[in-house]
Amino acid sequence: MYVSSDQNIKCPFCNSSSIIKHGKTSADIQRYRCMFCNKTWVPNKIQRQTTDIGALTEAYLSGYSYRDLRSIYHSSPIRINQKIREYLLGCSSWEDYLDACTPKHEARLIHLVGKKFKCNMGNNQEHTMFVAFAIDALSTVVLGYEIGKGESTDVWIRLLDRMNCRGFVCPTFMSYGFKTINDALKTVFPYATSFNNFTRACYDKQLKNELYFAPDIKKLILDAINAYKTNHSYQFANYLVIFKDKRMKQIVLDSKDYFMERIQERIKRRPSIRFEGLCSAFQKRFEKFHMIKYDPLPIINGWIAWWMLVPLPIGFSRLSLYLQHPCETHFKNFNCGSLPIPLNLPLDSPEMKKFVVELAVRSLHIPI
């Protein structure tokens, strides 16, 4: 029997609200069970402090090794590996979670990139496998991924075909121009335009020249706003329509100094803040995953979710930027299946200024 929502009872272990009654104790006190983590407890009973496996998993995904985590969870590395893998196996698919967050997917530009990583499951001499990513250019959110024994057209076709079935609409893709990617695009998205990454490099140079030689920064801001308008901001319809509202334009125009600061930061750090940053972080982290001797899907799925939900220096996650709505996001909520919590910020708040300026700057950096 599900517990009525008006009782406001949540799981003390994973914070899920999917709670059912689970009998009573010998003292006739009601016991509850969580449908997500399957743990039971008695309200208001003093329990011994237990290790938060969710926090343990986040620490592992962020860069800690199993040996590092022994100070948090006093057990052997093999036992810690088992507990983390069990936790990740209970998480939903990142693609399913993203689809639950938004009913439609319309991207202006999607990057298609892949990486090898060390894994014994591939059964090849190099002990490596391959993961293909589809990354939104505006928010750097991973829209989909596919794992294979090695890079091939079939791996990219499986990824793109699944995105097509999920209803993705995108006029332009960008990649390193490999034949395997181009063949897959012609098969699944024959009407989309494909560019190589050198096109973006030329655009970066042009943008840098405009930034340093533009007589009026106002023109650059208006170009950014116009670039953003090419996106379909349907997600924002219930909150406000960014940049179609005159007040939002004025916020950006009144934030010239911050706008310039963000552009200069992104130009200086462009390899680390765009999709290259995600690929570099993936490679760096997975070089330390020494114990991937079995199915790597749960770990890759969990790492992607953690990377998408962790707050950026601006205070919002990549998922918030993709949804085009300021949201509160947590990895634990992902594990419980809880959707992001929308934040209805005042238009004149510093947080909202950061959010809309970030969207404008990122739109200006898309080379299409």
**Burial of 125 from C-beta contacts in 10 A (0-12 / 13-18 / 19+):** exposed
- Residues 285 and 170 reside in one and the same domain: no
Does residue 247 surpass a pLDDT of 80?
no
The whole-number average pLDDT for the span 39-46 is 72
Q: Give the separation between CA 52 and CA 269, rounded to whole angstroms.
A: 35
Does residue 206 surpass a pLDDT of 70?
no
Does residue 245 surpass a pLDDT of 50?
yes
In tens, the pLDDT along 11-29 reads: 877 777 888 888 888 778 8
Fill in the amino acid letter for 252. V
Q: Give the separation between CA 297 and CA 289, rounded to whole angstroms.
A: 13
Task: Report the candidate in 289, 231, 277 with the shortest Cα–Cα distance to residue 105.
Answer: 231
Q: Evaluate whether 23 touches 31 at the Cβ level (below 8 Å).
A: yes
Q: Give the separation between CA 19 and CA 31, rounded to whole angstroms.
A: 10
- In this prediction, residue 62 has a pLDDT band, given cuts at 50, 70 and 90, of confident
Eight-class DSSP state of 102:
-
Q: Which of 196, 211, 234 is the last residue of a domain?
A: 196
The whole-number average pLDDT for the span 51-77 is 79
- Residues 28 and 149 reside in one and the same domain: no
The whole-number average pLDDT for the span 107-119 is 87
- Residues 126 and 18 reside in one and the same domain: no
In tens, the pLDDT along 140-158 reads: 999 999 999 888 999 999 9
- Residues 338 and 207 reside in one and the same domain: yes
- Residues 158 and 292 reside in one and the same domain: no
- In this prediction, residue 161 has a pLDDT band, given cuts at 50, 70 and 90, of very high
Does residue 333 surpass a pLDDT of 70?
yes
* Average pLDDT score, the chain: 79
Q: Which of 163, 196, 229 is the last residue of a domain?
A: 196
- Residues 81 and 108 reside in one and the same domain: no
The whole-number average pLDDT for the span 248-265 is 75
- Residues 169 and 102 reside in one and the same domain: yes
pLDDT for the residue 71? 73
- Residues 204 and 342 reside in one and the same domain: yes
Domain count, the chain: 4
Does residue 113 surpass a pLDDT of 60?
yes
For residue 174, is it within any domain? Answer: yes
* Domain hosting residue 69, numbered range: 53-89
Q: Which of 176, 196, 216 is the last residue of a domain?
A: 196
Does residue 302 surpass a pLDDT of 90?
yes
For residue 324, is it within any domain? Answer: yes
For 148, phi then psi, to 5°, come to: -145, 170
For residue 47, is it within any domain? Answer: no
Does residue 5 surpass a pLDDT of 50?
no
pLDDT for the residue 246? 63
- Residues 205 and 270 reside in one and the same domain: yes
For residue 212, is it within any domain? Answer: yes
For residue 46, is it within any domain? Answer: no
Fill in the amino acid letter for 172. T
Eight-class DSSP state of 311:
B
Residue with the bigger pLDDT between 46 and 295: it is 295
Give the CATH number for residue 140: 3.30.420
- If one counts every other C-beta atom within 10 angstroms of the C-beta of residue 272, the result is 12
Does residue 290 surpass a pLDDT of 70?
no
- In this prediction, residue 46 has a pLDDT band, given cuts at 50, 70 and 90, of very low
- Residues 155 and 31 reside in one and the same domain: no
pTM given for the model: 0.78
Give the CB-side neighbour count of residue 302, counting CA atoms within 13 A: 28
- In this prediction, residue 97 has a pLDDT band, given cuts at 50, 70 and 90, of very high
- Residues 297 and 231 reside in one and the same domain: yes
- In this prediction, residue 239 has a pLDDT band, given cuts at 50, 70 and 90, of very low
Mean pLDDT lowest for which of 128-132, 182-186, 284-288, 320-324? 284-288
- Residues 216 and 332 reside in one and the same domain: yes
CA angle 213, 214, 219 (to 5 degrees): 165
Eight-class DSSP state of 188:
H
Fill in the amino acid letter for 332. K
For residue 101, is it within any domain? Answer: yes
For residue 297, is it within any domain? Answer: yes
For residue 140, is it within any domain? Answer: yes
